[in-house]
Amino acid sequence: MLSHLNPPQREAAKYLDGPCLVLAGAGSGKTGVITHKIAYMVRECGMEARNIAAITFTNKAAREMEERVGKLLEGGLAKGLTVCTFHALGVRIVRQEAKFAGLKPQFSILDTSDIMQIVAEIAGTNDKSVVKGVQWAISAWKNAMITPSEAVKLADDETKALAASLYPAYEKTLRAYQAVDFDDLIALPVKLFDEHAEVLERWQNKLRYLLVDEYQDTNGAQYKLLRQLTGVRGAFTAVGDDDQAIYAWRGADVENLRSLQTDFPKLKVIKLEQNYRSSNRILNAANTLIANNTKLFEKKLWSDHGMGDAISIVAAPSAEQEAELVAMKISSHRFENRGSYGDYAILYRGNHQARLFEQQLRNHKIPYVISGGQSFFDRAEIKDVMSYLRLMLNGDDDLAFIRAITTPRRGIGAATLESLGTYAAQRGSSLFTALFEEGATEHVVARQLEGMREFGNFINKLEYRAQRESAAVVLEDLLRAIGYEAHLFETCEQREAESKWSNVRDFVDWLSRKGEADSKNLLELAQTVALISMLDKGEEGHEAVQLATLHASKGLEFPHVFLVGVEEGLLPHQSSIDGDTIEEERRLMYVGVTRARRTLTISYCERRKSGKEIRTVEPSRFIGEMGDGLKYTGGKKAEPVSQQDALAKLAKLQAMFGTKPAS
Ligand code: ATP
Ligand code: MG
C-alpha cells in the first residue's frame, strides 16, 4: 500500500510514535501522505477509522480526501472516518455538547452578512466601514481567544475601542438568538474543553489520532483545539508549507509551525524534497520567486519531470482583450492537444476579476465552473428560503424570524414586529416564543397576532415534517405554500425574477441531492449551509475550465494554468503594497505558480479601467522575480532578478534573522 511512496513519505506515513510534522514545498505529496497514513493506520495497525480525524482547509478538499481514502480502504474499512474542516468538526462538537455551551443542539450558524446586520444594529450605524471594522476586530479577538475584558485593554485605535465596547453586547445577542458565528465554532469547543475535563476526555477517546492538512494556515484557536484534542500523547500528524501561508488576514499564524517544535519537544520533523507535480521550468520559477521572501525554514524542491515548456508571459492591451486572449488560447490549445476543458484553470487575485473571463468563455462556448466566488448562499433569494429553514431549526433565531415572516409580505408591518419585539425583550425570550405567550395579546393587535400565530403554526408543522420526510418533498411544499415564485415575479423585473427563481431551483435540487447522498434531513442540512462556500458548488464539471481565486486554489493542481491580472496593484494587491505585506502576496503568487503541472501562462494588461478612468498599469514585480525561463509575447520585458541575486539576498536576510541559508 505504501509501495509507491518515496522513502521520506513512507517514513511519515508509518511514524506513529509521537507528534509528526511534514514540512515541505508545493506538490511534494503532503496531502498524499495524509491519505496513505490513514489507510496504513487502519489496514496495518488495526486502528479503527472512527477514531481517526483528518482536517482539511476546505469542504471540497475534505470530499476529495474522503474519496481518495475510500479507494485505499475498500470493503467499508473507512466507515466512521472523520474528514472535515476545523469548523465542521467544531459544529459536531458544539452540537453534541450543546448544553455545556449553553446552546440547544439546533443552534443557528450565522454567515457574514447576518453578522454585519447584528453589528450594525448594536453599533447603531449603517456605515459599512465602521461595521466591517468592528466585525473584523471582534473576529480577530475570538480567533486569538481574547475575551471582551482583555479586548478593552488591547484596543489601540478608535474602531477597536468601539469594537471592544460592543463585544459583550455582540456575544449576548448571538446567544439570545441561540446562534454562533464562524469563530465560535472553534472558540466554543476550546472553551468547553478548558472548562469540562470530562467532555475533553470523551473527545480525546473518540478521536485518537488527528491529521491536519495545510497546517501553515491554522490560527491560534485552531492550534489550541489541536493541542487539547491530542493531549499529552501528541497523537497527530500535521503537514504544511510555510511558503503557502496565505491566510494571515484571517488570523492564521505561521508561527504556529514554529510553536509545534517548542510545544512538542519530541516532534518528528520530516521534509519532502521531490516535487511530483510540475515541470522543472515551473518549479525553478516558483523557487526563484519565493527565494525573495525571508524564510522560516529551509526547504529544497526538485522534480524529475524534465524541463517542460517555457512559461509564457502575455501582455494584453486591456482587460477585455486579456480575457479574450485567454479564452482563445484555451480553445486552441485544447483542440491541438485533444485535451479536456477540465485540464485548464484560470486563477486570479480577486473575485471581481472573474466576470470578464466568464463573459469571454461564454462567447467562445467554453464550459466553465467558478469556485470561491461571491457565495451563492449570499444571494437574497437563497437567504429568503434559508430563513424558513433556519427558523424551523431554531425558533430563537430572530433574524430568520423577521426575514421569513416578511418575505413574502403577509401584511405584518414594522410596527407590529416592534410591539412583538418589545414584549419579547421584556420576557427575555425570542420573537417566536413570545408570539405564543399569553401576554402577547396585550401588546399586539389581535388580528395581527392571529396572522403571526398562523405563520408560527405553519413553521411548526413544516418542522415536524422536515424530521420525517425527505428534504426534497418538504422544500417543494414550502415553496408552494408561501408562493415564492409568484412573489419573485411580483417584486422583480421579469428577467431578474427568472434568474432568481432558477437559482432557487438550483438550490432546491442541490439540497435534495445532498440530503439523499448524506442521508440527512432538511434541518440537518440547513444547519451547516452557512459553512458551505461556493467551493462546493464548483464540483460538478469535470469537463469544464475551472475559475478560482488564488486563495481557493490551494492544494489543487491542473495540467494548464492561466494566472491572470498579474499586475502591480492587483498582485501584489495595492493594500499590501501600502501596508508593506508583500511577502504574503508573494506566497499567493507562489501558490498560483505551483498549481501548474505542465504549462503556465501569466498574463497582465497594459491598461485597466479603474472606476471611470483608464489607467496604465505595470506588470507585477513578481514576474521579474521568476528567473529566466520566461517567454514574452507583447508588452515589455521585466528586468529579471537572477536566481543568484535572489539567493544572495536571501542569505543576507537569513543571516539577519539568524536562520540557516538555503543551498
Ligand atoms: P500542495 O502543497 O500544493 O498542497 P502537496 O504537497 O499536498 O501539494 P499532493 O497534492 O499530495 O502534494 O501531491 C502532488 C502530486 O504529486 C499529486 O498528483 C500526487 O498524486 C503526486 N505524488 C505525490 N507523491 C508521489 C509519489 N511518491 N509518486 C508519484 N506521484 C506522487
Ligand atoms: Mg496538499
- Nearest residue (by CA) to ligand 1, atom 14, is 27
Q: What distance in angstroms lies between residue 644's CA and the mean position of ligand 2's atoms?
A: 29
Interhelix angle 471-482/380-393, rounded to 10 degrees, is: 110
Q: Which of 64, 183, 184, 214 is catalytic?
A: 214
30 catalytic residue (yes or no): yes
Ligand 1 atom having least distance to the Cα of 28? 6
Q: What distance in angstroms lies between residue 554's CA and the mean position of ligand 1's atoms?
A: 13
Residue 373 has pLDDT above 60, yes or no: no
Contacts of 1 (CB under 8 A, 6+ apart): 36, 39, 40, 43, 44, 72
The answer to whether 406 and 491 are in contact (CB under 8 A) is: no
Ligand 1 site, residue 26, Cβ cutoff 6 A:
yes
Residue 496: band (very low, low, confident or very high) from pLDDT cuts 50, 70, 90: confident
Cα distances (Å, whole numbers) of residue 240 to 8, 99, 126, 256, 574: 15, 35, 40, 11, 28
Q: Which of 244, 407, 594, 599 is catalytic?
A: 244
Ligand 1 atom having least distance to the Cα of 24? 6
Residue 371: band (very low, low, confident or very high) from pLDDT cuts 50, 70, 90: confident
Residue 639: band (very low, low, confident or very high) from pLDDT cuts 50, 70, 90: low
Ligand 1 site, residue 9, Cβ cutoff 6 A:
yes
Query: Could you give the angle at the alpha carbon of 207 between the alpha carbons of 206 and 208, nearest 5°?
Result: 105
Residue entry with cell 465552473: 369
Phi, psi of 178 (to 5 degrees): 55, 45
pLDDT at 233: 83
The C-alpha atoms of residue 308 and residue 81 are separated, in whole angstroms, by 39
213 catalytic residue (yes or no): yes
Average pLDDT score over residue span 24-30: 95
Residue 656 has pLDDT above 60, yes or no: no
Q: Which one of the ligands is nearest to 68 CA? A: 1
595 catalytic residue (yes or no): yes
Ligand 1 site, residue 555, Cβ cutoff 6 A:
yes
Residue 99 has pLDDT above 60, yes or no: yes
The C-alpha atoms of residue 475 and residue 458 are separated, in whole angstroms, by 13
Ligand 1 site, residue 242, Cβ cutoff 6 A:
no
Average pLDDT score over residue span 111-121: 86
**Which of 36-45, 143-152, 289-298 tops mean pLDDT?**
36-45
Q: Is 25 annotated as a binding residue?
A: yes
Ligand 1 site, residue 5, Cβ cutoff 6 A:
yes
Q: Tell me the DSSP string of 470-503.
A: -HHHHHHHHHHHHTHHHHHHHHS-HHHHHHHHHH
208 catalytic residue (yes or no): no
Ligand 1 site, residue 569, Cβ cutoff 6 A:
no
Q: Which three cell numbers stand for residue 326?
A: 485567454
The C-alpha atoms of residue 254 and residue 246 are separated, in whole angstroms, by 9
